[in-house]
Structure 1
Amino acid sequence: MRFPSGTAPTSIEHFGERVRASKFGPKMTGELYAYPNRKPKQRLKRESVGKDLCNDIAWGYRDEDHVQHSGAYLVVQRDRALRSFDLSMGYFAPLDPVEIEVWLEHVLAKVRTFEPVKSLSDWDGLAGAYVMVFEGFRQFYVGKADEVRKRIKQYWTGRKFFDRILFGTPYESIFPVDELRAWTRRGSMRHAATTRMRWRSARRTSQTDASA
């Protein structure tokens, strides 16, 4: 598989941050989703998992020490991941963006300490909750972190391990927010222009705020 034109690494500015884009680009695309990688997230040791399990999973590795996944595993795993991708995109597409905004405002109203974020550097070293909005997919994500700025930048540049991109079957696995990255496409919305995700964060000023 070759990288399509226009996906060479570039540097982008996002919420006041200079973000180094990987070779996969700052936007998620189906072509580069679940890009095959032989390296497993965790090396399974024979003595810890037992002989029977080792025999069952042997087809998925090219060596007995489970250092690299086999070519057969890469094909099967990517096929399953792309099936899950198609199912997720099919679920997102008909969602009403107006209704999503209503739910978003409902969440923000629950925690009135949420503030609009203009510059990510303002949140350097601060703990709190945050909301990321992916308009092109009619989705928003609520999380919390001990260091908000650091965690958000991990989303922008990180990726799921290839063998962890699915949790369960393609029909039950939840689409990983890590794969949406910094910029997202509007997809099936009326405009084809690129849209940047917007998000808010709440400063953690007390134990009450942290548990809200």
Structure 2
Amino acid sequence: MVLDEYKQVYIGKSDDIAKRIRQHRSSMKPFDRTLLPMYAEKTSCFSIDFFRALDTTRIYIWKRRLTDGVEADLVADFPNIYCTNRIGGDVSNAIEALATMNVREF
């Protein structure tokens, strides 16, 4: 998903892409997560769930197998300042999530 006005991109994968996009757009984050995202207000990026349908300029779909490992490569190709992914792609456990967390200075 591309959010041109905010110069942000989100890269994800799913067996059911329409369902996954609806999940992102319908989830409600507590207000404190806006002020203190992941309890690191100076280093955490905003989750894609903070944006709404009208913020999304384009959606690109690339049909692949979920096991192809492409998500991690795509996330790594974008500089952190432009990527709303909070963790790297193709993460399968908490250790990988922590190791690939998108940290940036504001």
Shorter-chain TM-score category?
Answer: 0.5 to 0.7
Structure showing the higher helix proportion among its residues: 2
Which residue of the partner structure matches residue 45 of structure 2? 174
Matches within 5 A, 1:110-149: 132-149=1-18
- Following the alignment from structure 2 to structure 1, what is the Cα–Cα distance between the partners of residues 3 and 40? 24
Q: Which has the higher contact order (CA 8 A, sep 6+)?
A: 2
Q: Which runs of 5+ in 1 are unaligned?
A: 1-131, 185-195
Q: CA RMSD in A?
A: 2.1
1:158, 1:178 within 8 Å by CA — same for their partners in 2?
Answer: yes
Which residue of the partner structure matches residue 64 of structure 2? 204
What fraction of aligned residue pairs are identical, expressed as a percent? 32
Structure showing the higher strand proportion among its residues: 1
In structure 2, give the amino acid aligned to 1:179: F
Structure 2 residue 29 is matched with structure 1 residue 160: yes
In structure 1, give the amino acid aligned to 2:69: S
1:158, 1:181 within 8 Å by CA — same for their partners in 2?
Answer: no
The Cα shift of 1:173 comes to: 2.0
Mark the structure with the bigger radius of gyration.
Answer: 1
The aligned length equals: 68
- Following the alignment from structure 2 to structure 1, what is the Cα–Cα distance between the partners of residues 17 and 69? 16
The Cα shift of 1:169 comes to: 2.8
1:155, 1:182 within 8 Å by CA — same for their partners in 2?
Answer: no
Q: Which runs of 5+ in 2 are unaligned?
A: 71-106
- Following the alignment from structure 2 to structure 1, what is the Cα–Cα distance between the partners of residues 7 and 66? 32
Q: TM-score, normalised by structure 2?
A: 0.53
User: What is the DSSP-based 3-state SS (H/G/I as helix, E as strand, rest coil) of the residue aligned with 2:62?
Assistant: strand
Q: Residues 205, 168 of structure 1: CA spacing in aligned structure 2 closer, same or farther, 3 A cutoff? A: closer
- Following the alignment from structure 2 to structure 1, what is the Cα–Cα distance between the partners of residues 42 and 61? 32
